[in-house]
Structure 1
Amino acid sequence: MAELVKNPKEMEKVQAEIVGEHGRVTEELLSTMTQPQAAIKEALRLHAPVPMLVPCEAVQDTKLHGYDIPAKTRVLINAWAIGRDEESWEDADAFRPERFVNTNFDYSGKDFRFISFGAGRRGCPGIGFGTRLADLALANLLYHFD
Structure 2
Amino acid sequence: MSGDKQVGIVLVSHSASVAGAVAELAQGLAGDGVLAPVAAAGGTPDGGLGTSSELIAEAARSVDGGAGVAVLVDLGSAVLTVKALLAEGDELPDGTRLVDAPFVEGAVAAVVTASTGADLDAVEAAAMEAYEYRKV
TM-score class normalised by the smaller sequence: under 0.3
Give the TM-score, by structure 1 length. Answer: 0.26
**Would you tell me which structure has more helix in proportion to its own residues?**
2
- TM-score normalized by the length of structure 2: 0.27
Bigger radius of gyration: 1
